[in-house]
Amino acid sequence: MAAEKKLAAIALADHDAVDGIEEARKTGATEGVEVIPAVELSVSFHAYHDVHLLGYFIDYRDETFRGMLGAFRTRRDARGKAIIDRINDKLASETRSPISLEEVLEGAEGALGRPHIARVLIAHGHAENTQDAFQRYLVPCDVPKLFIPMQEALDEVHRIGGLAVLAHPTSITTERPTLTALIRELAGMGLDGIEAFNNLGTEEDCRYLERIAHDLDLLVTGGSDYHGFESDIQMGVGRGSLSVPYRCVQHLKLRLNIADT
């Protein structure tokens, strides 16, 4: 798909999983698409939970890291099953047919997350799209998840040779003075960059995040946050207007002294 859309590079950044990177890099080599090994970690920071931290150019083969993700996934799968149980209770109250854990796991391919549950809800006709599935079922039926402390996540990304980037920062808070202070604190803790180009902010948000990155000497990255099945998001362009320049990749490489390809 990336080759068909003539994208120069993509980063495969699954939530708390790296299982697809090897296959993606091999296919990317044959299709002429640069595949950046990455991951998206679910972390906690102060009173904020489910903050997302991206790790780019990580050593995804590192056994200690993969072991940590495996343990995290075990807890994640248990949470997924509990969410499905709650959703089925809600579906029963609406006289709708239940969904099964097996259906969700079939589409998850090793990394069970709420978007995979949303996909099954849509397939059953219980929701129109991913946003509808979250609003009607996944948010009200949610089960608290475990998070990696921010400093631990930053240190681990750096330990395996990667760069740590804060994903879609405005999802933490839209209060700019608060967000600016948080990013400044994170920069002091070792944060390498922020995802200025993303689906969750406006063009003005993007410019604001770019200014913060410039002031704090942080890298700027971007991503469409495409999971493979959304009806309202496309790879590379998000909801249609997103444009991530290749210089973002070049700047990551420069920071890591990786030769450009």
Domain ranges of the chain: 9-69+147-256, 74-138
Domain 9-69+147-256 is found in CATH 3.20.20.140 = yes
pLDDT at 109: 67
Six-digit token pair at 143? Answer: 């089960």
pLDDT at 230: 75
> Where does the pLDDT of residue 261 fall: very low under 50, low under 70, confident under 90, or very high at 90 and above?
low
pLDDT at 76 over 80: no
pLDDT at 146 over 90: no
Please indicate whether the domains covering 9-69+147-256 and 74-138 agree at the CATH topology level: no
pLDDT at 111: 65
pLDDT at 46: 94
Q: What percent of the chain has pLDDT over 90?
A: 75
pLDDT at 105: 87
Lowest mean pLDDT among 48-57, 70-79, 83-92, 128-137: 70-79
Return the axis-axis angle of helices 114-123 and 101-108, rounded to nearest 10°.
120
Six-digit token pair at 66? Answer: 């993969």
| CA atoms of 95 and 175, how far apart (whole Å) | 41
pLDDT at 73: 80
pLDDT at 202: 86
**Which is it for the CA torsion 151, 188, 162, 211, positive or negative?**
positive
Distances (CA, A) of 41 to 31, 49, 147, 198, 241: 28, 12, 8, 17, 26
State the pTM of this model.
Answer: 0.81
Alpha carbon of residue 104 to chain centroid: 19
Tens of pLDDT, residues 195-220: 999 988 888 999 999 999 999 999 99
Q: Is 119 helix (H, G, I), strand (E, B) or coil?
A: helix
pLDDT at 49: 83
Strand locations in 57-147 (E): none
Max Cα-Cα span within the chain:
58
pLDDT at 256 over 90: yes
Average pLDDT, the chain: 93
Taking the CA atoms of residue 185, residue 188, residue 191 and residue 194 in that order, the dihedral angle to the nearest 10 degrees is 50
Mean pLDDT of all residues in 26-43: 97
> Where does the pLDDT of residue 64 fall: very low under 50, low under 70, confident under 90, or very high at 90 and above?
very high
pLDDT at 108: 75
pLDDT at 254: 96
pLDDT at 238 over 90: no
**59 CB-near residues (< 8 Å, 6+ apart):** 37, 65, 160, 161, 162
pLDDT at 107 over 90: no
What CATH code would you report for 74-138?
1.10.150
Instruction: Tell me the sheet residues that pair with 254.
Output: none
Mean pLDDT of all residues in 24-47: 96
